[in-house]
Every structure is written in structure tokens, then in C-alpha cells.
Amino acid sequence: MDRSSLLQLIQEQLDPEHTGFIGADTFTGLVHSHELPLDPAKLDMLVALAQSNERGQVCYQELVDLISSKRSSSFKRAIANGQRALPRDGLLDEPGLGVYKRFVRYVAYEILPREVDRHWYFYRHRSCPPPVFMASVTLAQIIVFLCYGARLNKWVLQTYHPEYMKSPLVYHPGHRARAWRFLTYMFMHVGLEQLGFNALLQLMIGVPLEMVHGLLRISLLYLAGVLAGSLTVSITDMRAPVVGGSGGVYALCSAHLANVVMNWAGMRCPYKLLRMVLALVCMSSEVGRAVWLRFSPPLPASGPQPSFMAHLAGAVVGVSMGLTILRSYEERLQDQCGWWVVLLAYGTFLLFAIFWNIFAYDLLGAHIPPPP
């Protein structure tokens, strides 16, 4: 029986008057008496949904959404608050898994705080499409770095080379009219140390996040952090250029760390306290290094060195927009009031930053270094 036939059968037999609700006891019997083309996690959730309703009814639309692989916040609340029939055994007890399935299980415990979500992800995960966004961005950054390293014959502190700032990818305040630079600066890096740090975090955190939450959401979060980084620098550090993908990296990391803290009891990743401390130390050290290079350059430079404000802007985007995305696993963002509040705040910031870049530099008489 396919999904459409199943839904039609349920509606005809259990909701002939089209009230939008189905009796929970009758529905539970139907679930157990038919061979449904659903994975085990969905079958458990259907039974839990039926038993969790205080009025003894199941909303027909909730059923449609679940069978269609869509989950709403009301369904999540029903599962959380009701007498759920989900299995108590965790995925760690699953025997006979292959290498890839064990990796999927590892990702589920690294990213998701609730057992019901881990089961849902584990059983419905498919290897296609793969997490191509973070891998592609990291590969592009490495290729660009190698090209400029070979061209400049310099692999550390590349920004001190007089030819480096002439790249059409770097954000420079003198080239603000070239709008693509507000994003493409993420492909350029100060040196091997910054590239290595960003690439490591993109692969260790970004790839698992993309596997769980999908390409669209994670790419949106990453690019929002990158764009917020360059725009924040153009407002708060008007003379400084920007290079590196730290805005996007800090958006991902801050969102993930904030999600772990807010769901501390439910997270099952090993050594989570130690890993949290190490992550905060590494991120703080990277910001400290950027501040040092900005205000105390170790080598003579022809102009201001890249700003550190992109790191902080990315972290703010991660805690706000990113946390909203990560707490909404398999739920429709457009159905959540918080998502629209975050979008409104981000849109307001974008408009302010655009007008600032158009008018403020001339009105304030900012002395920016000549563009290379």
C-alpha cells in the first residue's frame, strides 16, 4: 500500500465526515493491522502520536505531514508531552551496522539532543545527496590559497605581501562598490594557520551539521555569517580589509555550541565538557591572534591589517539565526514566530549596513587607505 492509498483509506474509514480528527484508539488499531510502507521510527512515532492526545483524537493533517516526512512543532510537543510509545533502547545498541551507518549514528549523537530525533534521522538518512556545500567551500578555499601561495611565494602572513590586497576577492573599504567582495573574501586567508583552523572546523562541525540539517539551511547560515562579518567590519572598523571564512565558521560553531549548552542533559556526545572547553579556547585564541595582527602587526605593512570583527559578527549570527535553525530539526522554519523575528532583525541590519556604506563614509569623512 502506497502513501496516498494509505491516507485515503484512513480518511474514508476513520474520518468520513471530514472533521479533521481521527479517534486515537481506532487509529492505533489501524496502524498495527496494516503493513505500512514506513521505516520503524515513523511507525513508533505514529503510535506515540495517537497515544499522546488527551482528547483521544489524532489530527489528520499531522498524520499527512508525518507520512510526507514533514514535522511540525505541534507534533513535536505531542510526542514530548504525551505518553509516548517510542522504544527506550538507544541507537548505540543497534547491532551489525556497516561503517557508513556507524558514522551516521555518530553524527546523530553529535548533533541531535533527543532520542526521538536521533531515531528519525538515523532511519530516514540517505547518502544522496552528500554534504557537498561545506566540502566544496573548503576545497575552493584550499585551491585559492595554494594558487596565491605559489604566486606570492609566501605561505604565512600573506596579507603583508604588497600584491595580496590586489586580489579581486579581498574585501577592501576602497572597493565597497564591488559588492561581490562582501562574500568572496571568504576564499582568501591570512596564512596557513588561519586556513587550517577554518578548514578543520568546517569539516568537523560543518559537514555533520549539513548531513543532519541539509544543504539549504547550513549554506544559508554560513553565508549569513560571512556577509554579516564583512558588513560589520565596514561599520565598526571602517579602514580595515577582511579576509578569511571566519564569519561563516564562527556562525556554525557558535550555533552548535549554543545548541549543546541549551540541551546539555540530552546530548550524548562523549567528553562533551572537555570538548566544549577546548572549542572555546581555540575560538578565543583565534580571535586573540586576529586582534594582535590588527593592532600590533609583526611586519611592516602598507596599510591596515584585516579586522577581527568578522569573527564576532559570525558568532552573533550563530547564536541568533543558527540556534533557531538547529533547534528546528525537520520542522518548517516558516511556521515558527522566532524564525521571522530573526529574519526581520537580520534584514534590518542589512538595510542599515547598506545605507551606511553608501552615505556614512562621506558624511563622517572617513580616511580610508587608497585601494590597491
State the catalytic residue, choosing from 172, 311, 320, 328.
Answer: 311
- Write the secondary structure of the chain as one string of H (helix), E (strand) and C (coil): CCHHHHHHHHHHHHCCCCCCEEEHHHHHHHHHHCCCCCCHHHHHHHHHHHHHCCCCEEEHHHHHHHHCCCECHHHHHHHHHCCCCCCCCCHHHCCCCCHHHHHHHHHHHHHCCCHHHHHHHHHHCCCCCCCHHHHHHHHHHHHHHHHHHHHHCCCCCHHHCCCHHHCCCCECHHHCCCCCHHHHHHHCCCCHHHHHHHHHHHHHHHHHHHHHHCHHHHHHHHHHHHHHHHHHHHHHCCCCCECCCHHHHHHHHHHHHHHHHHCCCCCCCCCHHHHHHHHHHHHHHHHHHHHHHHHCCCCCCCCCCCCCHHHHHHHHHHHHHHHHHHCCCCECHHHCHHHHHHHHHHHHHHHHHHHHHHHHHHHHCCCCCCCC
Q: State if pTM tops 0.85.
A: no
Between CA 176 and CA 343 the distance in angstroms is: 24
Between CA 173 and CA 231 the distance in angstroms is: 10
| pLDDT digits 0-9 by tens, 125-134 | 877 778 899 9
213 carries an active-site annotation: no
State the catalytic residue, choosing from 230, 246, 320, 328.
Answer: 246
Bridge partner residues of 57 (DSSP): 23
Domain annotation for the chain: domains and CATH numbers: 3-83 (1.10.238), 132-364 (1.20.1540.10)
pLDDT of 357 reads: 94
Is residue 247 within 8 Å of 313, Cβ to Cβ? Answer: yes
pLDDT of 83 reads: 37
pLDDT of 102 reads: 86
pLDDT of 173 reads: 93
Give the phi and the psi of residue 23 in degrees, each rounded to 5.
Answer: -60, 130
pLDDT of 130 reads: 86
C-alpha distances in Å from residue 65, one per residue of 40, 68, 72, 352: 17, 5, 8, 39
Kindly give the parts of the chain with pLDDT less than 50: 74-75, 77-88
246 carries an active-site annotation: yes
pLDDT of 87 reads: 45
